[in-house]
Chains A and B, each alone.
Chain A
């Protein structure tokens, strides 16, 4: 049962992480572009670095969290543990996402106050 649980868990978290990361990548570009006054090359670079770091962090965390699982004996335990851990990953993603947005917002505010005063 453990192997089956690992497979389901990996597929689920992989799908969620990659999907969310791609959405952030596509929609975050506008912000960084505006922050850097339309410097396309640097924006692409920073965006790609952010995406790579995000993937490394999350997939690494997913892979790492597997080592502490107990033996799974029934399908109920399987559903419970897979769902709970997926929920945890999603919460972590959400927190990282909102922190990221706050940081970009603060950056743009700071920048505006430099240039307008």
Chain B
């Protein structure tokens, strides 16, 4: 069994990345509803839809990347190199997920800021209109 250890590596890698992605997406999009509500000014249907669409895109993108880079091209010969390869792959994927997480957070904060600015402008316009 020359390829036994490669197969073991895959068997560890796949559940690990699926669980990691699920966990991050779960946490992120459970809490992003508040942001979405702020961004869309309390229009619940469109806020929830946007949340769901972003969640699906997040899963597709990250799991797609994880599956695409899974391939280990050389034979793993002992348990030491198995550990090293696996930790490099999982660590790299964790860093990538973290960057995606912060990018998403940045998008949410930015959307919220813009929505607030727009609301302020609309209010200012209204008050000047009523003065004139």
Report A's interface with B, CB cutoff 8 A: 20, 23-24, 27-31, 34, 74-76, 79-80, 83-84, 86-94, 97-98, 101
With A76-B10, A80-B71, A87-B70 known as contacts, the answer to whether A24 contacts B56 (CB < 8 A) is: yes
CB distance from B125 to the nearest CB of A (A): 11
Question: Which residue of B3, B6, B7, B67 contacts A90 across the interface (Cβ within 8 Å)?
Answer: B67
**A96 to chain B: closest residue by CB:** B60
**B7 to chain A: closest residue by CB:** A76
Enumerate chain B residues within 8 angstroms of A27, measured Cβ to Cβ: 48-50, 52-53
With A94-B60, A97-B60 known as contacts, the answer to whether A79 contacts B67 (CB < 8 A) is: no
A34 to B7, CA, bound (A): 50
Q: Is the CB of A31 within 8 A of B46?
A: yes
Enumerate chain B residues within 8 angstroms of A94, measured Cβ to Cβ: 57, 60-61, 64
Q: Which of B24-80 contact A (CB under 8 A)?
A: 45-46, 48-50, 52-53, 56-57, 60-61, 63-71
Q: How many residues of B contact A (CB 8 A)?
A: 25
**B75 to chain A: closest residue by CB:** A76
A/B interface sample: 16 pairs, CB < 8 A? A20-B56, A23-B53, A27-B49, A27-B52, A76-B7, A76-B10, A83-B10, A83-B67, A83-B70, A84-B67, A84-B68, A87-B70, A90-B64, A91-B64, A93-B60, A94-B60
